[in-house]
Amino acid sequence: MLATAWSSGGSSVNTLLGINDDGDSKSTAVQKKMGRTVTSESGISTVSASSRSSVSSTASKKVQKVMGWMVFGSKKLLGKNNSTSNTHIAYENGSCPTHRVTALDVVLAAASERNHERINPNQLSAVSVLGRGGCGKVMLMRTEDDRLIAVKEVHKSNLMDKPGTTRPSVRPVSTKIEHAEMENLVLHTISSHPLITSFHGSFQTRDKIFLQMEYCGGGELFQHMQRQGVFQEDRVRLYTAEIVSVLEFLHHNGIMYRDLKPENILLDSKGHIRVTDFGLSMQFNKQGDDNLMRCFSICGTPEYIAPEIILMATTRKDDKKATYGKTVDWWALGVLMYEMLYRVPPFYHRDRKTMLNKILACQLSFPKQAKAAKQVSNEAKSFISALLKFDEKDRLGYGNNGSERVKSHPFFGRLDWDKVAAAEYEPIFVPDLNDECDTSNFDSQFTKEILREDPIAPCAYHLELTGYEYLKEDFADAHWYR
């Protein structure tokens, strides 16, 4: 099957990608300590300091193309300039953006009528830094009525592909901007699910954008995997079932997640999961139809990327048949479950090029003995194997009723899926929290930072992102740190 997919005059996968696999994929060093690649489009992730290294400078052109597009995807996502209307949508504070109304404006205006609990940014005070990335940071904030929320802050100057090079009168074309707007749209649409972080609104100033989210004191699943190693199968079963419930909900609402990984899974104070960070998500107006929910952009985290996304780098730009569907999320679920049970992703290799080659080869194997209290069951192995199929049509979860086939797999036994979706099962593991402000489950590299306003370069273009409420000029986030 792999030879057919890569048929190119007898060329092998290594030849096409320019990879020389020198071999040792079973390094003990990998099993002892594993880092993580941060490829979140928005650049905000509360990740461990031990992050995976960037792509090697000796990579072939095709691999460089894969890695170059791994984060940002297509540059023609939202079609900003297609509208001819001069009508503006007013925001709550009376201000309105200068750009023309688009389809995205209309959807967001309707979504804003949902029952999202909005929080006045003037009533916030900073408590701690939770994470930091290339574009900004995530902070723990306290409201005037003594509640805690998480606020993602992104600098607009970092959203431009080439900061400072655009003309002031021309809106810059940037995939980072498009994905920031898409994340806001998705959060307006789906944050009512019990296993997705609640959304409390978004706003912007001249130089920054902000997203207000639910605070989950249990921290990232990635941090717990690093500290505790492998998980018991019963614990993995509940985590996996809750993620399945979220993916089914997203797909039913026409949303492809595309960035499932432990860093984007949070735990609440009771031990239930919360899916967060929708910076790479794509929303379609054809809900649940896998034949119409198709993408062509290359994005994701290399350890979790599906083979059909890698193959996109070798196809012609005018090949309309070269697309992928929502089964990339089911592939990522299989990789995540394997990592929870065996600590290392199934195709992981320290060399990025070799790892991509192993994903394309798709030769799944299981260690003879897992580093856990009990042996991994055959049902768990069967479930992982069904998710990690090379051809998306053979993969468990494919098709319009794919989630039903996922939930009916013997691995889940007699789970009540209504109770799973409502977070009514009692988790095996409950995070240890001394109080509601305890941030010990987050990386101490960030939580020990001194609270202060970050210096930023002013945004050369007066950029107003669609869907973000524009605050008055007299607002200054510096008062958060007083």
Residue type for 350, please? R
Structure tokens at 304: 């979790």
Q: What is the DSSP letter of 279?
A: T
Question: 357 burial class (0-12, 13-18, 19+ CB within 10 angstroms)?
Answer: buried
Please indicate, yes or no, whether residues 276 and 376 belong to a single structural domain of this protein: yes
In b/e form, how buried is each residue of 89-101, taking b as 16+ CB within 10 angstroms?
eebeeeeebebeb
Structure tokens at 297: 């952009």
Q: Identify the domain containing residue 411 by its residue range.
A: 221-421
Please indicate, yes or no, whether residues 202 and 225 belong to a single structural domain of this protein: no
Structure tokens at 65: 């193309």
Q: What pLDDT does 374 receive?
A: 67
Please indicate, yes or no, whether residues 209 and 273 belong to a single structural domain of this protein: no
In three-state secondary structure terms, 283 is strand
Q: What pLDDT does 123 receive?
A: 83
Whether the Cβ atoms of residue 297 and residue 228 lie closer than 8 Å to each other: no
Task: For residues 200 and 177, give the distance between their C-alpha atoms in angstroms, rounded to a whole number.
Answer: 20
Please indicate, yes or no, whether residues 212 and 225 belong to a single structural domain of this protein: no
Please indicate, yes or no, whether residues 370 and 288 belong to a single structural domain of this protein: yes
Structure tokens at 329: 């999320």
Whether the Cβ atoms of residue 373 and residue 25 lie closer than 8 Å to each other: no
Helix, strand, coil shares of the chain as percentages rounded to 5? 35, 10, 55
Residue 369 neighbours by CB distance under 10 Å? 8
Contacts of residue 244, Cβ cutoff 8 Å, sequence gap at least 6: 333, 403, 406, 407, 420
Please indicate, yes or no, whether residues 199 and 237 belong to a single structural domain of this protein: no
Question: 291 burial class (0-12, 13-18, 19+ CB within 10 angstroms)?
Answer: exposed
Whether the Cβ atoms of residue 401 and residue 392 lie closer than 8 Å to each other: no
Please indicate, yes or no, whether residues 336 and 459 belong to a single structural domain of this protein: no
Asked whether residue 398 is domain-assigned, the answer is: yes
Asked whether residue 20 is domain-assigned, the answer is: no
Domain count of the chain? 2
Q: What pLDDT does 16 receive?
A: 35
The CATH number of the domain holding residue 376 is: 1.10.510.10
Please indicate, yes or no, whether residues 91 and 233 belong to a single structural domain of this protein: no
Task: For residues 122 and 120, give the distance between their C-alpha atoms in angstroms, rounded to a whole number.
Answer: 5
Asked whether residue 60 is domain-assigned, the answer is: no
Task: For residues 439 and 448, give the distance between their C-alpha atoms in angstroms, rounded to a whole number.
Answer: 10
Helices (H), 134-265: 175-190, 221-228, 233-252
What share of the chain in percent tops pLDDT 90?
39
Asked whether residue 373 is domain-assigned, the answer is: yes
Please indicate, yes or no, whether residues 163 and 239 belong to a single structural domain of this protein: no
Task: For residues 309 and 321, give the distance between their C-alpha atoms in angstroms, rounded to a whole number.
Answer: 13
259 is catalytic: yes
Domain boundary among 390, 421, 452: 421
Q: What pLDDT does 161 receive?
A: 65
Domain boundary among 371, 388, 421: 421
Please indicate, yes or no, whether residues 162 and 252 belong to a single structural domain of this protein: no
The CATH number of the domain holding residue 459 is: 3.30.200.20
15: left (phi over 0), alpha (psi -120 to 50) or beta: alpha
What are the pLDDT digits (tens) for 156-209? 888 876 544 445 555 555 778 888 888 998 998 887 789 999 999 899 888 889
Contacts of residue 276, Cβ cutoff 8 Å, sequence gap at least 6: 196, 197, 213, 216, 264, 265, 266
Task: For residues 470 and 300, give the distance between their C-alpha atoms in angstroms, rounded to a whole number.
Answer: 30
What are the pLDDT digits (tens) for 264-322? 999 999 999 999 999 899 888 755 566 778 888 888 899 999 999 998 877 766 666 77
Task: For residues 256 and 283, give the distance between their C-alpha atoms in angstroms, rounded to a whole number.
Answer: 6
Asked whether residue 236 is domain-assigned, the answer is: yes
In three-state secondary structure terms, 256 is strand
Asked whether residue 34 is domain-assigned, the answer is: no
Please indicate, yes or no, whether residues 329 and 371 belong to a single structural domain of this protein: yes
Task: For residues 202 and 92, give the distance between their C-alpha atoms in angstroms, rounded to a whole number.
Answer: 12
Please indicate, yes or no, whether residues 282 and 366 belong to a single structural domain of this protein: yes
Residue 288 neighbours by CB distance under 10 Å? 17
Q: What is the pTM of this model?
A: 0.77
191: closest CA among 253, 109, 268?
253
Active-site residue, selected from the candidate residues 105, 259, 268, 351: 259
Asked whether residue 31 is domain-assigned, the answer is: no
Question: What average pLDDT values come out for the chain (482 residues) when binned by 10 residues?
Answer: 32 37 38 39 34 33 43 32 34 43 50 62 88 83 90 86 52 75 88 88 88 93 92 95 95 92 94 93 72 82 93 71 89 96 94 94 84 76 96 92 94 95 95 89 88 73 82 71 68
